[in-house]
Structure 1
Amino acid sequence: MGWLEGEVAVVTGGGSGIGRAIVERYVAEGARVVAADISEERLQEVEDRLGDRVATIVTDVRSHAQNAAAVAKAVEVFGKLDVFVANAGLGDRFTELADLPAEDIDDAFAQIFDINVKGIVHGAKAALPELLKTRGAIVVTLSNSSFWPDGGGVMYIASKHAALGCVRQLAHEFAPYVRVNAVAPGATRTNFTSPSAFGEAAPGPQVKADRVAAVRATTPLDVFSRPEDHTAAYVLVASRTQAPVMTGTVIESDGGLGVRGLRRVRGGDDLLQRVLGEPSQ
């Protein structure tokens, strides 16, 4: 039996990237899942892959009514809701304020905050009545940018700091009946959507080799993570049996950024040679 056997979850942004990886892992752990996403095409791919363990619904998380429809879909198809994963998000392509035209600020701000922050609030509000019935859980996707600067531009960083505030306050407001936790991934190999105000995205799903090397060079664990690398954390905080006393908790799944040194990114680059006499990797 998996850690989520018999549970029912809604995952926003569930059609691609980390959201899709969460959907697939939750199903593998025994859950039935409603994947909610803005893209009907991506949702069809999820259905084709996972069959009747999933249901899908086209959802714009900026709308309370559409979040409520995703919750209602879970109850209609699977009979209840145990876990709501507020995962949908937008990036800003690392656009710094000096480079953002003044006439684009209002639109860019609205788009980023409406999805990255208001989407959490709408989702939590819509899910709360059903989660109270099941004594369920909310899981929010944060970011290393919820704690550190320069993981994006000012719009993205501010939105992810605000999302952290949502997690902490909702964990307080919903205790003792609904647990609210979060996972904060670091740089991950996904096609992260951004508003048009931040320019056009680079075409294609492939990450350039120099980008991979640059990200790995910044992390103590020397990694550029894949979506599936984060999913165990989402399972843990969703599980009522494995994390019954966790709320307001953020699992940082970021390659160890919090222990990056001032002199060296990682202190063990030559550890194999020093301790075991083996060549350093």
Structure 2
Amino acid sequence: MKNLLLAATAALAIPAMAQAHFLLEYTTDTMIDAPGDVPVKLIFWHPFENGHVMDLELPEEFYMIHNGEKTDLKGTLEPVEFTGGENSGAAFKGSVPVKRSGDYVLATVPVPYYEASEDIYIQQITKAFLNRNELPTDWMNSVGLPTEIIPLNKPYNVIAGGTFTGLVVANGEPVAGAEIEIEYMAAEPDMDSAASSAPTVSPMAGGSVVAVSDADGYFTFGVPKAGYWGFAALGSGPATEHEGKELSQDAVIWIRAWNME
């Protein structure tokens, strides 16, 4: 138990998968000043090393939660091509109608992706967050997904050099011992083109950065740098099989960290 708790309170650079798959719900900003439609891109990619882009199918669900109300955004999605450092792949561009003050929680339930190199399916159920006028309304609440990471820090203005704590749940219940891959968005998508930016840092030595949830489903990570950070609880969901093959149903959350000025 002591070792498990230590693992949950610090990110460990230990070998996991050579490259981490991450579904992005990318917006240029997380804190929105003026009302309007905020562009968003859905990309299945390796953003730490600007690596391989996986083809993304039209998601099963794409919606937002604002003041506790769910709004379907799937109809805003249009197919686009996205080019990373290694290849191009199918992605989607949509929009989020940000009008009133408060939080806008984005949620995507993708179609399971077949990873031939591992002979498994991957389904990364993903959340990201926007806010208008600094009024917190929804960020701390469960969305009710099959599996998700519930943030205990306001996820759109985490302090670089501070910590982020999340709770991994499946069907609303804590998941103990979940392996959580941690990804820095070293390369970012360009909203006006089909390409990514060049990476600002290199991937960590030793493979993926990993933490483990404790006996109550919590993990804490010391955030070393400003920018977007992703956390994927691998296989934390209740579904374990798809079309006769193993399914890794992952809970993904994206946060934004800022330097103090």
TM over 0.5: no
TM-score range, shorter chain: 0.3 to 0.5
Greater RCO between the two (CA within 8 Å, min separation 6)? 2
After TM superposition, the score normalised by the length of structure 1 is 0.35
Q: Which one has a larger percent helix, Structure 1 or Structure 2? A: 1
